[in-house]
C-alpha cells in the first residue's frame, strides 16, 4: 500500500508538526502520539483521517451547543444533542479500533483515561478530541498547500 504523502512522516515528526501548528496547545500529546503510532505503523491512515474528522465534527457540535442558548438561529438543540451522543459513541469505537494492535497496558490506559463514563473521563476525552481537531486542521492545511 502506498502511503499518503502527509503520512510519510514518522509519528514523532507528525506530532511535532501538529503541536507546532497548534501553537503548542496540545493537551494530551503523549496519547495523541500513541494514536499516531498505532494507526500509521499499522497502515491505518484512513482510520486516522476518520478519527480526526469525527473529532473536529464533535468539537463543532459542542461549540454549537454552548452557543445554542444564546443563538436564536439554532432551533433544534435536541437534534444536535442526539447527533453529539451518536458521534461520541462513534469516536470511542474508532479510537478502540486504532488501538487494536496496542499492548494490554496501552489499551487499559485508554479505557481508564478516556472511555470510563465519569466526569474526569469525559474531560480527558474532550482534551484528546481537541488535540485530534488540531490534527485535522493541520492535515487540511497541508492538503491545501500540496494542492496549490
- Cell 499518503 identifies what position? 4
- State the cell numbers at 18: 501538529
CB 19 within 8 A of CB 138: no
CB 57 within 8 A of CB 87: yes
Looking at residue 2, its pLDDT comes to 37
Alpha-carbon distance of 148 to 135, in angstroms, equals 20
- DSSP state, 117? S
For Cα atoms 128, 132, 136, give the angle at the middle one, nearest 5 degrees: 170
CB 48 within 8 A of CB 35: yes
DSSP characters for 65-108? HHHHTT-TT---HHHHHHHHHHHHHHHHHHHHHHTTTS-HHHHH
Looking at residue 146, its pLDDT comes to 79
Across the 148 residues of the chain, what is the mean pLDDT of every consecutive 10-residue run?
Answer: 53 94 97 96 94 97 82 74 95 98 97 96 97 97 83
Alpha-carbon distance of 147 to 133, in angstroms, equals 21
The pTM score is: 0.89
Amino acid at each position: 500500500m502506498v502511503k499518503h504523502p502527509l503520512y510519510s512522516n514518522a509519528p514523532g515528526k507528525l506530532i511535532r508538526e501538529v503541536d507546532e501548528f497548534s501553537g503548542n496547545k496540545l493537551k494530551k500529546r503523549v496519547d495523541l502520539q500513541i494514536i499516531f503510532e498505532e494507526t500509521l505503523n499499522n497502515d491505518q491512515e484512513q482510520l486516522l483521517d476518520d478519527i480526526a474528522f469525527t473529532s473536529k465534527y464533535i468539537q463543532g457540535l459542542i461549540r454549537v451547543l454552548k452557543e445554542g442558548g444564546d443563538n436564536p438561529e439554532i432551533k433544534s438543540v435536541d437534534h444536535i444533542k442526539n447527533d453529539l451522543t451518536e458521534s461520541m459513541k462513534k469516536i470511542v469505537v474508532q479510537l478502540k479500533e486504532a488501538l487494536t494492535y496496542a499492548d494490554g497496558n496501552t489499551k487499559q490506559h485508554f479505557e481508564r483515561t478516556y472511555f470510563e463514563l465519569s466526569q474526569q473521563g469525559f474531560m480527558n476525552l474532550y482534551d484528546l478530541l481537541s488535540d485530534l481537531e488540531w490534527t485535522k486542521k493541520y492535515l487540511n492545511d497541508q492538503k491545501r498547500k500540496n494542492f496549490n
